[in-house]
Structures are given as C-alpha cells and as structure tokens.
A and B are shown apart, each in its own frame.
Chain A
Amino acid sequence: DGGITQSPKYLFRKEGQNVTLSCEQNLNHDAMYWYRQDPGQGLRLIYYSQIVNDFQKGDIAEGYSVSREKKESFPLTVTSAQKNPTAFYLCASSTPGQGLKAFFGQGTRLTVV
C-alpha cells in the first residue's frame, strides 16, 4: 500500500546534537512538507519542497535544514541552533492537479534532554 513513513516514532537526543528525522513516501507525490506541533498550537510549516532539488522555508525554518535529493525522500535535520527542538514533527505529501489530496505520516516525537 502507498503511504508516508516517518521514522523513528520516538527520538531522544542530548542538547547540542544535530538529529535527522526521516520521511519517505511511495505515492509519487511531487510536494512534501515538514510541520512542527507544540502543545496548544496548530501545526506550523518548517520547510516544504515542490520538486526534487528544490525547497523553500516555511514559517519557522530557523534551526532546521532539509534536502530533497530524491522524489520519495525529504529528511529534516534539527540542528543545535534550534532553541526549542522538543516537539512533535509531522511530514506530509501532496500531489497538485489531483485535488490537492494530502497524506500524512504518523509523526516523530523528538525529546531533547
């Protein structure tokens, strides 16, 4: 079955370390997105990519980096520059021209200690 896979589901890291969250989709979607969710707040856009080898900053990109070397993969690196990295991270993908249907991964809960 097609879908989006995020891994791992839970991730613990020490303060000051970079950490990379994985997002893979086999839906042949062009666009992929990374969102962050904090308690009591809506999901906020970190980065998005509409095509391979191209990506744009979202509303809260500071302290994060991404790459889009392959259509099916859009990893997110949480760098040591991100002041409050502990959060729930959600990856999504969509395909323009087909009703803009979006699909979501199961999320990664990152805890920095």
Chain B
Amino acid sequence: KNEVEQSPQNLTAQEGEFITINCSYSVGISALHWLQQHPGGGIVSLFMLSSGKKKHGRLIATINIQEKHSSLHITASHPRDSAVYICAVISNFGNEKLTFGTGTRLTIIP
C-alpha cells in the first residue's frame, strides 16, 4: 500500500462544476503539498499545508491531521484547470523528503 493515496485517479467534469480531489496518507507528516503538473511536465506548487485550510483564487485546500486526509477543491472549474494534481507529504522522520501520490488527472470539458 502506498504511503500516499489519491482519489480519483481520473476525473472529467463540465466547465463550471465544483471539483474535489482527495489525498490520504499513512505516515506522520510535518507538511503536505498540493502540486499541479501540466502536459509539458513542469510542476507548480499550489499549496503547502500543515493544518486547517488555505485559499488561493478558485482553489481551496484543507487538511485534517487527525484523520490523515487532505482535499483540494476547485470552484467554477475551467478548461485551463485541466492538469494532473499531485499530493505530496513531507514526513516528520527527520529527513524531510517528499513522498508523492500518483496524481489525479483532471479534464474540464468546455
């Protein structure tokens, strides 16, 4: 079992829909990242969370440390949101390395 599990693996939605991507992890962490990877391959860090909730534009990320779960929400989705969204955790074991989920491929249809 992977230390970081994402769901769904693939998600197709109509423009304007509210999107939720989930991330569950099994290790103790000091922080969690939500990343966006576009078809060209480059990765952009969207959020880093260690507790609570963060909002940036139409994107909202939440984390529940007790339940070892995080969600990424996109409101009023747009075709330009189409990308792979990756959850990554930083363990609290001292080496600070990132462990990545396999990603969620989001496609927004106009």
Question: Which of A's residues lie within 8 Å of B, judged by CB?
Answer: 31, 33, 35, 40-45, 48, 50, 56, 58, 88, 90, 92, 94, 96, 99-107, 109
Interface size on B, residues (CB 8 A): 26
Alpha-carbon separation in the docked complex, A92 to B2 (Å) = 21
Alpha-carbon separation in the docked complex, A92 to B98 (Å) = 10
Question: Which of B's residues lie within 8 Å of A, judged by CB?
Answer: 2, 4, 30-31, 33, 35, 40-45, 48, 50, 86, 88, 90, 95-103
Which residues does chain B contribute within 8 Å of A92, judged by CB atoms? 98
- In whole Å, how far is A90's beta carbon from the nearest beta carbon of chain B? 6
- In whole Å, how far is B4's beta carbon from the nearest beta carbon of chain A? 7
Question: What secondary structure prevails in chain A residues at the interface with B?
Answer: strand
Say yes or no: A42 contacts B100, CB within 8 Å: yes
Partner of A100, one of B31, B35, B42: B31
- In whole Å, how far is A108's beta carbon from the nearest beta carbon of chain B? 9
- Name 22 interchain pairs, CB-CB below 8 A, sorted by A: A33-B98, A35-B98, A40-B102, A42-B2, A42-B4, A42-B100, A42-B103, A43-B86, A43-B100, A45-B98, A50-B96, A58-B97, A92-B98, A96-B96, A99-B50, A100-B48, A100-B90, A101-B45, A102-B88, A103-B45, A104-B43, A106-B43
